[in-house]
Amino acid sequence: MGNAVGILEVYGLSTAFMAADAGCKAADVRLESFDRNRPARARELSVPLLVTVKFRGSVAAVEAAVKAGAKKAESLTGVVKQYIIPNPTEQTEQILRMGAFDKR
């Protein structure tokens, strides 16, 4: 397999690093580039930046990584959303490769 993707959206870049580290230690996954999003109500939030961590690997490994990453993020600033896509289509793969960190 090895095609699943786990998406974990958290508050803040530091939390994203910590969640990514926890996920990678918990399962045999690889990371894809982080993505960022500044929500519309950013000024109301204590951490005004959302960061998406993407884990890749087998379905079981991605599930374990997302679970561990979410647990770590919850202990810090929190989790916004989490998703697992077991077998993304080619069109979804193209979108997953896009990153907002390199856009200004």
87-103 pLDDT tens trace? 999 888 888 877 655 55
Contact call for residues 20 and 52 (beta carbons, < 8 A): no
Amino acid at 9: E
Which among 25, 101, 90, 27 has a CA at the least distance from the CA of 63? 27
- Torsional sign, CA 35, 77, 85, 31: positive
Residue 2 to residue 66: CA distance in whole angstroms: 15
Per mean pLDDT, which range of 29-33, 36-40, 42-46 is the poorest?
A: 42-46
Residue 8 pLDDT exceeds 60: yes
Examine the pLDDT at 75 and tell me if it is beyond 70.
yes
Percentage of the residues of the chain whose pLDDT score is greater than 70:
87
Residues 66, 39, 92: CA angle, nearest 5 degrees: 50
6: pLDDT strictly greater than 90: yes
Say yes or no to pLDDT of 2 above 50. no
